[in-house]
Amino acid sequence: MDRTLEETYDGLMADTKEIADLHHVSEILEWDQEVMMPPRGIEARSRQVALIAGVMHQRSTDPRRGNWIAELEARSGELNDEQKAVLREIKRDYEMSTKLPPDLVQEISRTTSIAHNEWIKSRAQKDFSIFAPHL
């Protein structure tokens, strides 16, 4: 693999790792929501989760990623089997992500965060009507 191909692959991998780190931040926010968050903190938390989801989506659908994928696919014969498999999975994720509008991604994250909180209340109180509006 020449230096240019290696740089392209390394750039894609570094970007992918940063996106994974953002996902981990989102998971920490979700964990905190379930374990430590004050009961009235859901509005702020839902905005935070939606913001992170939006940033992850923006990063995941950046045209630069598409360019890296295309460059690497054009020279896939120079990649080893592991790199080809990683590229295949990254491409699949990229293609799926680019089909979703950013606003939808954020709204789903925000709504899911709120709905999950309401489901916990609903379940504890055995009152489905608390959760029903979020379906």
Q: What is the pLDDT of residues 54-84, one digit of tens each?
A: 999 999 999 999 999 999 999 999 999 999 9
Q: Which residues contact 120 (CB under 8 A, 6 or more apart)?
A: 34
Question: What global pTM score does this model have?
Answer: 0.87
Q: What is the pLDDT of residue 39?
A: 82
Rounded CA separation 45/11 (Å): 32
Residue-level pLDDT, tens digit, the chain, 135 residues: 556 999 999 999 999 999 999 999 999 999 999 999 998 999 999 999 999 999 999 999 999 999 999 999 999 999 999 999 999 999 999 999 999 999 999 999 999 999 999 999 899 999 999 999 988
Residue 50: closest CA among 36, 33, 63: 33
Residue 43 CB: number of other CB atoms within 10 A?
12
Instruction: Give 128's DSSP letter.
Output: G
Q: What are phi and psi of 126, to 5 degrees?
A: 50, 45
Rounded CA separation 98/115 (Å): 26
Tell me the CA end-to-end span of the chain in Å, nearest whole number. 51
Q: Which residues contact 123 (CB under 8 A, 6 or more apart)?
A: 131
Q: What is the pLDDT of residue 31?
A: 95
